[in-house]
Amino acid sequence: MGPRADEGADIHQPKQLVRNKIVIAGNYANNFQYAPEWLWEKNLTPTEFMTYMALRYFSYPTGPTVAMLVDKTGFDTAVIEETLHSLLERELVEPCVEDEFGQPADDRWRFCYYKYVKDAPDQAPVPVPDDSDPEYHLKQFQARMARSKEAFYAANPGAKEAEERRALDETEWHAAERRQFEEQRKKLDDPNYRRSGGPINPDINGMVDTVKHLGWSALAQIAGIQYHLAELTGLALLDPDANDTLQNELHHLAEAVEWGAIRGVLDYTEIEAHDYLYEEEFWNTFTDGREIAIRIMVEEERGVGAPILESPATIEFPHGTIYHINPVTPKPEGT
C-alpha cells in the first residue's frame, strides 16, 4: 500500500498524485525505483514518503542536516522537523550521534537501515532458502533442449547431417589453430628466439587519433562508474567501504589511461618549450583539427550521495556534464 491519497489538507504534499504514485521533478526522482517493498506497508503520507526518500539519497551512516533536507525537498524547516519526528515514532529514522568527522552532531538524521543495525541482527532481512537441486534443473534444461533439437531435425531433413559436418569442420579448424599456437609458444619459450614487435602502422596520425579517442572514451566511462557507485552508496545499496575501495581502483585506472593513451602520444619536449600553454588543446584535438570530446555543463555540480575520489576522469567529466565524443574518422557530409 502506497502513501495515503486522502491527504488533501496537507498543503506540503506533491502537486500530482496518480494512483498513489508520486510524480516529482528533480535529480533524485529516479531514486523512487529503489523504494523497498516493505515501505509501502507503512502507510506514509506523501510528505513523509518524500522526506524518507530524500534521507536515503544521502550517504549512510552519516545523514543530512535539517537544512540539507530543506534544500533537497523544498519543504519548510518546520515541516521537515515535524515529519522527522513522525518518522522517528515509526522507527524509520533516527538521529545521528556524530558527523562524518567523528564530531558530536545534534542536527543530523539518517534512515534506519537494518543491514547496519549490528545490535539487532534478527531484524536483518533473511533470504528464502533454495532447496532445489541445481543439477536437477540442469538435467531438465538439457532434456528440453534435446527434444527441441529433435523436433527441428524432424521438420528439416538434412539439417542434422549439415550440423554434423559443420561441427567436424570446426573441430578440425580448432585443432589446426591449436597446433599453430603451440608451435609459436615453443618459439617464444626459446631464449635464443629473436622476437619481433610486428609491423608498425604507417599511418602515424591515424594511430595517434585512435589512441586519443580510446583514452577519452575510457575516461568518460570511468567517470560514469564513479558517479554511479556514489549514488548506490548514498541509497545504501553499496557498502561505503566498498565504495572507497572501488573509487580508489578507478582513480588508478583513470591515471593509467590518461598517461598511456593521451599523454603518451604527445611530445612533451615541445609542450614544455611552450610552458604547457597548448597542452589542453593538444590533448583534446584530432590531427585534422576536430575536437575529440565536446562537453557541456547542464546543471550545477552537486553531491551525489557519497564521497567521490577525484580522478582524471572526474576532472575531465564533472558531475552534471553531457558530452559527445567525435569518431576518429569524420562522417561524410549529408549523413
pLDDT of residue 303: 56
pTM for the full model?
0.47
Is residue 254 within 8 Å of residue 222, measured between CB atoms? yes
* Residues of the chain above pLDDT 70, percent: 78
Is residue 286 within 8 Å of residue 292, measured between CB atoms? yes
Is residue 43 within 8 Å of residue 1, measured between CB atoms? yes
CA angle (25, 27, 31) in 5-degree steps: 90
Reported as a single tens digit per residue, the pLDDT across 32-43 is: 445 566 666 778
- Mean pLDDT for 86-95 is 86
* H or E segment to which residue 111 belongs: strand 109-111
- Mean pLDDT for 78-83 is 91
Q: What are phi and psi of 108, to 5 degrees?
A: -120, 145
Domain ranges of the chain: 17-123, 204-325
Is residue 316 within 8 Å of residue 308, measured between CB atoms? no
Reading the block at residue 165, the C-alpha cell is 559436418
Grade residue 92 by pLDDT with cuts at 50, 70 and 90: confident
Which has more pLDDT, 272 or 99? 272
CA distances from 270 to 134, 152, 259, 290 (A): 63, 67, 17, 21
pLDDT of residue 290: 93
Q: How far apart are CA 322 and CA 335, in angstroms?
A: 23
Reported as a single tens digit per residue, the pLDDT across 241-292 is: 899 999 999 999 999 999 888 778 888 888 888 777 778 888 899 999 999 9
Q: How far apart are CA 266 and CA 276, in angstroms?
A: 12
CA distances from 150 to 12, 144, 156 (A): 65, 10, 10
Is residue 198 within 8 Å of residue 184, measured between CB atoms? no
Is residue 240 within 8 Å of residue 193, measured between CB atoms? no
User: Which region holds residue 276: left if phi is over 0, alpha if psi is between -120 and 50, else beta?
Assistant: left
> In a 3-state reduction of DSSP, which class is residue 54?
helix
Angle between helices 159-189 and 134-155 (to 10 degrees): 120
Fold of 17-123: Arc Repressor Mutant, subunit A (1.10.10)
Reading the block at residue 106, the C-alpha cell is 545534534
Q: How far apart are CA 236 and CA 52, in angstroms?
A: 13
DSSP per-residue string spanning 153-165: HHHSTTHHHHHHH
Q: How far apart are CA 10 and CA 86, in angstroms?
A: 15
Reported as a single tens digit per residue, the pLDDT across 167-191 is: 999 999 999 999 999 998 998 888 8
pLDDT of residue 31: 46
Cα atoms in the 13 Å half-sphere on the side-chain side of 206: 6
Q: How far apart are CA 306 and CA 200, in angstroms?
A: 46
Q: Indicate the burial class of 262 (C-beta count within 10 angstroms; 0-12, 13-18, 19 or more).
A: buried
| Residues sharing a CB contact under 8 Å with residue 96, sequence separation 6 or more, in sequence order | 61, 62, 63, 105, 108, 109, 110
pLDDT of residue 304: 53
Grade residue 71 by pLDDT with cuts at 50, 70 and 90: confident
pLDDT of residue 223: 94
